[in-house]
Amino acid sequence: MNDLAGTRQVNPRWRTLAVALAVLSAVFLVVGGLAWQRVYGRASTQERVALAHGLALHAAELRDTDSGTARKLGTAAVGIHDDEQTRAGLIDTMVDMYGRALSPLTQETSREVTVSGDGRVALSKEGGEANVWDLKSWIDPEVIEKPDRIPTLKRHGRASVNTTALSFDGRTALTGDGDNTATVWDLTDLAKPVRLATMAAGRTTKYTNGVKKAALSRDGGTAVIVDQDGVMTVWDLADRSHPKRLSRTSSKTVPIRDFALSADGRTAVTVDDHNKVTVWDLTTADHPVKGVDLDLSMEYSRSATRTAMSANGHVVLVGRVGQIEIWNLDDRSHPVRYTTLDVSFDNLYGTYDMSLAPDGKRLLLAGPGGSGALWDLSTPSRPTRLAALNGHMREVESVALRADGDLALMAGSSGVYFWNLTGLDEIVADPKRESCHRYDAKISEAEWARYAGGADWSEYKSEDMDSVSVCLIDWWS
């Protein structure tokens, strides 16, 4: 009886212990299960990222040869894993589909391209002459037969054309020639350009290197010519047939590399071979005032090569090897550097050319490798890369933007290429939505096996389909 009573007294304790052990076991199982789920989930996420980046890489490789496949692989990549890399790849693919050659690409090199502010006219410099292009029909999608270049602006005498400039409305053009003169052209009738006048630049000797840069104010009423010896001349074109020279300023024979003029013709910037970037006040055009030099590093490998200016003259860009410096000229006597933009990762190891939209919000850069890069400078202190422009060239010599930034041109080996960038903001904001709005594409099982690196495609398609819909891929995965 005593033993039985003792057993009855112990059993409740064993039961409590057993319950506690069972609870602990359940806790361990739950914790272990959650840990396994975390590891599995992490591996699954890593696999999705790897798959998305792999598809984006294949899309980039196919961009030149098979744009349709490139687009649907890029769209699938964003649907599987939406990050900066996949989005940038799809944006570049979408933008590339809106580029085309102004004429069949040849081996002819275009050294310079210029476009009027309204986008109606473009000039391209080839073989010592300037070709005139009427861009209206190129922009209009309803015009099937695109015209070739119209006439050429012939060189002055035996000299070759070194550089060109256009007024905003495209009705006045300048050609700067190798004999150190500039010619004024009337392009009112694009098919029949009229030579109106010839203006002398700086020195005219047998040793002169000719005109380096020419620029026109927005209204075409003021012309500025800079020769390669560093002489800047300002002209009044109120009467285009009888230009009046207002001033001639020498920079003490220092060769000029580049030049920019504000739309009102009152502010200019020169870049010389001594790595000096100088701001000029042309408010009194008959007496230009040399202002401050921008405070650049004198490091030889980072010497200044190019410059660009917004229409109001308040934003100035200075191109250097692998870098673009962005300056604020609200106070011309005290320039302030906004930021330095590193462009080395865009393969722009030596900035060949750059074009800034008049409002200063969109920048086009070009360099070695046959491509360009489009940047958003709406907030100058925080530039944002928008897209790459592939010109299908070996190298790009020159770039140009229409005033609104929605038309871009690049010139280089093989000719001139242009992009109609209307709708770029929508593409950048949501490239997958814009891709699916324009196209409905599917990836076949054979294509998936070829490009997806062995990933199980059943996770990315609906059960009743024999293909992957790139626009619905995030619904089923």
User: Taking the complete model, does pTM exceed 0.85, yes or no?
Assistant: no
Higher-scoring residue by pLDDT: 220, 4: 220
Region 273-280: what's the mean pLDDT? 86
For the chain, the domains span: 2-94+431-476, 103-429
**pLDDT exceeds 80 at position 212:** yes
Read off the pLDDT of residues 229-246 as tens digits, 9 standing for 90 and up: 888 999 999 999 999 999
> Per-residue pLDDT averaged across 242-254, rounded?
84
pLDDT in tens, 301-318: 567 788 999 999 999 999
Structure token pair of residue 470: 């790139």
Q: Find the largest Cα–Cα distance for the chain.
A: 134
SS3 letters for the chain? CHHHHHHHHHHHHHHHHHHHHHHHHHHHHHHHHHHHHHHHHHHHHHHHHHHHHHHHHHHHHHCCCCHHHHHHHHHHHHHHCCCHHHHHHHHHHHHHCCEEECCCCCCCECCEEEECCCCCEEEEEECCEEEEEECHHHHCCCCCCCCCCCCEECCCCCCCEEEEEECCCCCEEEEEECCCEEEEEECCCCCCCEEEEEEECCCCCCCCCCEEEEEECCCCCEEEEEECCCEEEEEECCCCCCCEEEEEEECCCCCEEEEEECCCCCEEEEEECCCCEEEEECCCCCCCEEEEECCCCCCHHHCEEEEEECCCCCEEEEEECCEEEEEECCCCCCCEEEEEEECHHHCCCCCCEEEECCCCCEEEEECECCEEEEEECCCCCCCEEEEEEECCCCEEEEEEECCCCCEEEEEEECEEEEEECCCHHHHHHCHHHHHHHHCCCEEEHHHHHHHCCCCCHHHHCCCCCCEEECCCHHHHC
CATH T-level assignment (fold) for domain 103-429: Methylamine Dehydrogenase; Chain H (2.130.10)
* Distance (Å, whole) CA 126 – CA 244: 29
Identify the pLDDT of residue 25: 61
Question: Confidence band (pLDDT; 50, 70, 90) for 142?
Answer: confident
Position 67, amino acid: S
pLDDT number for residue 303: 74
Condensed to tens digits (0 to 9), the pLDDT of residues 337-393 reads 998 888 764 444 445 688 999 888 999 988 666 788 899 999 988 899 999 888 777
Question: What confidence category does residue 193 fall into, taking pLDDT thresholds of 50, 70 and 90?
Answer: very high
What's residue 5's pLDDT?
A: 46
Per-residue pLDDT at 143 exceeds 90: no
Confidence of residue 196 (pLDDT cuts 50, 70, 90): very high
Instruction: Please tell me the predicted confidence (pLDDT) of residue 6.
Output: 46
Q: pLDDT higher for 257 or 350?
A: 257
What pLDDT is stored for residue 381 in this prediction? Answer: 85
- Residue 322's pLDDT band, with cuts at 50, 70 and 90, is confident
pLDDT of residue 156: 59
| Residue 1 pLDDT level (bands cut at 50, 70, 90) | very low
Residue 217 has pLDDT above 90, yes or no: yes
pLDDT at 29 exceeding the cut of 50: yes
Average pLDDT, the chain: 82
Region 221-233: what's the mean pLDDT?
89
Torsion angles phi and psi, residue 182, rounded to 5:
-125, 140
Weakest mean pLDDT among 136-145, 163-172, 234-243: 136-145
User: Is 90 exceeded by the pLDDT of residue 75?
Assistant: yes
Q: Is residue 86 predicted with pLDDT exceeding 80? A: yes
